[in-house]
Amino acid sequence: MIWLALRLTVRSGREALTRLVVIAAAVALGVVLLLTALASYSALHRQDARTGWLQTSTHNHQPSISEGASDHLWWLTTHDEFGGQSIQRIDVAATGPHAPIPPGIAALPGPGQFYASPALAALLARTPADQLANRYPAHQVGVIGHAALASPDDLIIIVGDQARQLAGQPGAVAVGSIETAPTPHNLSTFQEVGLALGAAGLLFPILTLVAMATRIAAARREQRLAAMRLVGATIGQVALLAAVEAALAALAGAIAGNGLLFLLRPQLARLRITGVRWYPADLNPGAITIGAICLAIPLAAAAAAMVTVRSVQLSPLGVVRRATPAAPSIKRLIPLGLGVFMLAIFALAGRTYSRGASASYAPTIVAGFVLIMIGIIAAGPWLTMVCTRVLALRSGRAATLIATRRLADNPAAAFRAVSGLILAVFIGTVFVAGTATATSGTALGDDPAAATTAITHPTGAPLAAATAATLSANLRSQSGMRALTLVRTYTGDVNGSPQGLLACGELAGTPEIGRCDPGTQVAIMPLYALDAGHTQPQQHWPNAHNTPSNLTQLTVQAVVIATDGTPATLERIRTAVDTIAPRQLTVAQTFGQLSAASIRDATQLQHLGDLAILISVILAGCSLAVAVAGSLVERRRPFALLRLTGMPIRSLRLVVLLEAAVPLIGLTIVSAAGGLLTAELLIRALRGATIRMPGLPYYLTVLVGTAIALTLVLSTMPLLQRISSPEHARSE
């Protein structure tokens, strides 16, 4: 029987072969997107494993060598920045010949030497020295290899130093080995839930596409199977024939999807899903995952085909009969209601992110979100039936009556055709509303001074007065400098809050951090006012009753630098700071950059959400195109008969358009509203906040997506004209 099934599948004419190819192509698209998501997850783990060495400390979880037999290595990690990119600097100094060596380099750099990652080496070569290279008073002796880098874009430098000199630096530690444990990710509950929701939201449209693909021409296949039953085939034999046909197409699609993934890896590696590029070799889901998918998808397709055989029934006269499915009941709303109820419990019980919600609640919240998506699928047919009844109240034309009658007979089939787009709208709404709330509240985001005024703080003890004087003189000589304000140490106490002293003559050049009261020479201000989100340009600081000459002997708590706003000036200032006070001050950042850094994780989550939305829309459009094309192929004889009775082709086109448009438009509105409600519950449960309503781009995206979906429906009209020709009216 299996051999017969294979022959019938591939040698039953052009229609059967075309159906096999179309199903395989649709499954391949779903598989390659699913494998891409799994490969990305696997690539993250590979990146974590290679960058664990950056977490080296005196207590490594997985030492690279036996610490009892090694010489100590002085180790200091600092962070720099160039052009919005983070640079990781590792200073090392060996105390003996058996000191541990970081991965990616053959030997430790000596004093005055450094290894740079390929991206940083290229950046050093093309950038003026006064903007970057002068920060590293050494010469390059090699390139850091792939084994120590997460991405080709990584900017990492390993600098050699004298052990005695490095040992005296704040933050330097003596280590006996290099950490080999993967980099830990200290994600917040909000981030963990967001990533889990994104994965779940991406999986559903993929499964929808695969399910729609395996149902292409299902009705015509059932008719052929019913004919076999009439000539004596048993139910088991018919089920085996259907299962083999579905499994063969799904297996071909799964294999093709795997091949496409490996062909597209160089292009996929360029996608900056996490903000950086991948190494193509990292995008490998693994042999076990590939084998599981190649086995699971054909088995699932075979099982689905065997289930559909149950609808092939024979009357006592030996005639195939197809009963109209029962109308969906309101009970289909139960899963949707349970999902909303689960999220509402956390939203109303006050377990919010801002009050330290435990990560243990995250699985339950994700389960509620997944249950809502399942509820949308379950409630879809009932909602489609409701939309159809609303349209039937205004039916006055033959095309409208035919469309509403077909929708009413089988609302589940009508919903399946648009379920991918409905899920895409729901997921997109949740992410747009949720991430817009998470990234709101950027400090000084619209202030022009945020991009021109930078600040740097001492990394340890306050900066010595002599060093501050040298730094001040050097910075004032830099081209592009507008003004400079030194915030000095105040030894008194004001309400238990650390304070700083400022010379009003200097403060006048950096009004972005406030102003002095009239007639004041030295003002006093709280140091927290220098943090991003707290700066108060309109604030007048009170008189400190001091003179500028007395400030010159005081240590410095912060340096505020006003520039002309050009990137080159900012980089020269950073280089000057690092040259005069190496490793004593933080990297100079504008207030706008500090504000952006405070929401960087949420912004990265938004990028991941945008990518998930994009993939969901692509999958949804493909699902709709496959469903409409399959529906037309199944109904070639009824359409041909309608044309023979005199119905014009334009009326048939209107029937097809209405069958797709009614559930699409109606359920899009319902799905968008449900997405906003879900986003509100999630944000309340995770952050104790209220969502921001999406802006105009969101509504335009929904409208454009709906228009594209209807355009895909219209693109099948040439197929409608071809399959409704008179020769297709004959009974097979």
H or E stretch at 486: strand 481-489
Q: Which residue has the tokens 């040698």?
A: 11
Q: Do residues 155 and 117 touch, judged by C-beta distance below 8 A?
A: yes
Task: Please tell me whether residues 385 and 395 are part of one structural domain.
Answer: yes
Task: Please tell me whether residues 586 and 632 are part of one structural domain.
Answer: no
Where is average pLDDT lowest: 69-73, 370-374, 451-455, 677-681? 451-455
Per the model's pLDDT, the better-predicted residue between 204 and 76 turns out to be 76
Q: Which residue has the tokens 């695969």?
A: 210
Q: Which residue has the tokens 């939201």?
A: 201
Q: pLDDT over 70 for what percent of the chain?
A: 74
The closest of 166, 169, 209 to 27, measured between CA atoms, is 209
H or E stretch at 648: none
H or E stretch at 90: strand 85-94
Q: Answer yes or no: is 503 within a domain.
A: yes
Radius of gyration from C-alpha coordinates of the chain: 33
Mean pLDDT of 238-252: 78
Task: Please tell me whether residues 414 and 553 are part of one structural domain.
Answer: no
> Does the pLDDT value for residue 175 go beyond 70?
yes
H or E stretch at 689: none
Cα three-residue angle 639-643-645, rounded to 5 degrees: 115
> Does the pLDDT value for residue 81 go beyond 70?
yes
Q: Coil, strand, or helix at residue 319? A: coil
Q: How many angstroms from the chain centroid is the CA of residue 200?
A: 12
Where is average pLDDT lowest: 70-79, 90-99, 638-647? 638-647
Task: Please tell me whether residues 402 and 477 are part of one structural domain.
Answer: no
Domain boundary residue, one of 598, 621, 639:
598
Q: Answer yes or no: is 38 within a domain.
A: no
Listing from the earlier edge strand, what are the strands of the sheet with 173-175?
A: 139-143, 113-116, 156-160, 85-94, 73-82, 173-175
Task: Please tell me whether residues 521 and 408 are part of one structural domain.
Answer: no
Instruction: Output the six-digit token pair for 327.
Output: 């109308």
The backbone torsions φ and ψ at residue 96, rounded to the nearest 5 degrees and listed phi first, read: -175, 175
Mean pLDDT of 8-18: 61
pLDDT digits (tens, 9 = 90+) for 654-663: 888 888 888 8
> Does the pLDDT value for residue 265 go beyond 50?
yes
pLDDT (0 to 100) of residue 235? 66
H or E stretch at 171: none
H or E stretch at 503: strand 499-503
Mean pLDDT of 291-308: 80
What pLDDT band is residue 318 in, cutting at 50, 70 and 90?
very low
Q: Answer yes or no: is 184 within a domain.
A: no
Number of independent structural domains in the chain: 3
> Does the pLDDT value for residue 403 go beyond 90?
no
Sequence-distant (6+) residues with CB within 8 A of 78 are 89, 91, 171, 459, 583
Give the C-alpha separation, 77 to 55, whole Å: 9
Give the C-alpha separation, 201 to 610, whole Å: 12
Q: Answer yes or no: is 562 within a domain.
A: yes
Instruction: Output the six-digit token pair for 614.
Output: 């994009």
Q: Do residues 638 and 726 touch, judged by C-beta distance below 8 A?
A: no
**Terminal-to-terminal C-alpha distance of the chain:** 24
Q: Compute how many other C-beta atoms are within 10 angstroms of the C-beta atom of residue 208.
A: 25
Task: Please tell me whether residues 140 and 87 are part of one structural domain.
Answer: yes
Give the C-alpha separation, 76 to 56, whole Å: 10
Instruction: Output the six-digit token pair for 368.
Output: 């509620």
- Determine what percent of the chain falls in helix, strand and coil, rounding each to the nearest 5: 60, 10, 30
Q: Answer yes or no: is 203 within a domain.
A: no
Task: Please tell me whether residues 508 and 579 are part of one structural domain.
Answer: yes
Mean pLDDT of 490-497: 76
Rounded (10°) CA dihedral 295, 301, 302, 306: 160
Task: Please tell me whether residues 57 and 150 are part of one structural domain.
Answer: yes
Instruction: Output the six-digit token pair for 232.
Output: 């004596």
Q: Strand 522-526 vs strand 540-541: parallel, antiparallel, or unpaired?
A: unpaired
H or E stretch at 10: helix 2-10
Instruction: Output the six-digit token pair for 7.
Output: 């022959």
Return the axis-axis angle of helices 235-268 and 14-50, rounded to nearest 10°: 50
CB hemisphere CA count around 172 (13 angstroms): 20
Mean pLDDT of 36-53: 85
pLDDT (0 to 100) of residue 351? 46
pLDDT (0 to 100) of residue 140? 93
Q: Compute how many other C-beta atoms are within 10 angstroms of the C-beta atom of residue 67.
A: 14
Task: Please tell me whether residues 583 and 476 are part of one structural domain.
Answer: yes
Give the C-alpha separation, 385 to 425, whole Å: 20
The listed range with the strongest mean pLDDT (279-288, 315-324, 706-715) is 279-288
The closest of 7, 33, 4 to 617, measured between CA atoms, is 33
pLDDT (0 to 100) of residue 447? 47
Sequence-distant (6+) residues with CB within 8 A of 28 are 252, 253, 254, 256, 257, 260
Q: Do residues 590 and 454 touch, judged by C-beta distance below 8 A?
A: yes
Give the C-alpha separation, 603 to 352, whole Å: 20
Sequence-distant (6+) residues with CB within 8 A of 657 are 710, 713, 714
Q: Answer yes or no: is 307 within a domain.
A: no
Q: Is residue 700 left, alpha or beta, with left meaning phi > 0 and alpha meaning psi from -120 to 50?
A: alpha
Per the model's pLDDT, the better-predicted residue between 115 and 216 turns out to be 115
Cα three-residue angle 20-24-26, rounded to 5 degrees: 120
Q: pLDDT over 90 for what percent of the chain?
A: 19
Q: How many angstroms from the chain centroid is the CA of residue 65?
A: 37
Where is average pLDDT lowest: 20-24, 82-86, 133-137, 465-469? 20-24
What pLDDT band is residue 219 in, cutting at 50, 70 and 90?
low
> Does the pLDDT value for residue 488 go beyond 70?
yes
Where is average pLDDT lowest: 130-139, 152-161, 413-422, 551-560? 413-422
Instruction: Output the six-digit token pair for 622.
Output: 């493909």
Q: Answer yes or no: is 199 within a domain.
A: no
Query: Each residue of 507-528: b (16+ CB within 10 Å) or e?
Result: bebbbbbbbbeeebbbbbbbbe
Domain boundary residue, one of 175, 191, 216:
175
Task: Please tell me whether residues 452 and 589 are part of one structural domain.
Answer: yes
Where is average pLDDT lowest: 127-141, 205-219, 327-341? 205-219
Q: Answer yes or no: is 452 within a domain.
A: yes
Sequence-distant (6+) residues with CB within 8 A of 125 are none
Q: Strand 515-516 vs strand 540-541: parallel, antiparallel, or unpaired?
A: parallel
The backbone torsions φ and ψ at residue 90, rounded to the nearest 5 degrees and listed phi first, read: -115, 115
Task: Please tell me whether residues 85 and 109 are part of one structural domain.
Answer: yes
Contacts 24+ apart (CB under 8 A), 39-42: 39/261, 39/268, 39/282, 39/283, 39/284, 39/285, 40/273, 40/278, 40/283, 41/199, 42/282, 42/283, 42/284, 42/285, 42/286, 42/289
Give the C-alpha separation, 552 to 339, whole Å: 64
The closest of 182, 173, 184 to 78, measured between CA atoms, is 173
> Does the pLDDT value for residue 190 go beyond 80?
no
Sheet strands (E) in 352-471:
453-456
Where is average pLDDT lowest: 325-339, 419-433, 594-608, 614-628? 594-608
Sequence-distant (6+) residues with CB within 8 A of 176 are 58, 63, 65, 67, 68, 70, 72, 73, 100
Instruction: Output the six-digit token pair for 129.
Output: 């020295």
Mean pLDDT of 453-472: 89
Per the model's pLDDT, the better-predicted residue between 188 and 61 turns out to be 61
What pLDDT band is residue 89 in, cutting at 50, 70 and 90?
very high
pLDDT (0 to 100) of residue 300? 80
> Does the pLDDT value for residue 177 go beyond 70?
yes
Kindly write down the DSSP assignment for every residue of 23-39, as one continuous string.
Answer: HHHHHHHHHHHHHHHHH
C-alpha dist (Å) from residue 45 to 72, 190, 621: 29, 20, 32
Give the C-alpha separation, 622 to 376, whole Å: 19
The backbone torsions φ and ψ at residue 715, rounded to the nearest 5 degrees and listed phi first, read: -70, -15
Which residues constitute the domain of residue 488? 448-598
Give the C-alpha separation, 90 to 76, whole Å: 6
Task: Please tell me whether residues 589 and 604 are part of one structural domain.
Answer: no
* Average pLDDT taken over every residue of the chain: 78
Q: Which residue has the tokens 């991206």?
A: 119
pLDDT digits (tens, 9 = 90+) for 539-589: 888 898 888 988 989 999 999 999 888 889 999 999 999 888 888 888 888
The backbone torsions φ and ψ at residue 693, rounded to the nearest 5 degrees and listed phi first, read: -65, 140
Q: Do residues 564 and 511 touch, judged by C-beta distance below 8 A?
A: no
Domain boundary residue, one of 175, 200, 227:
175
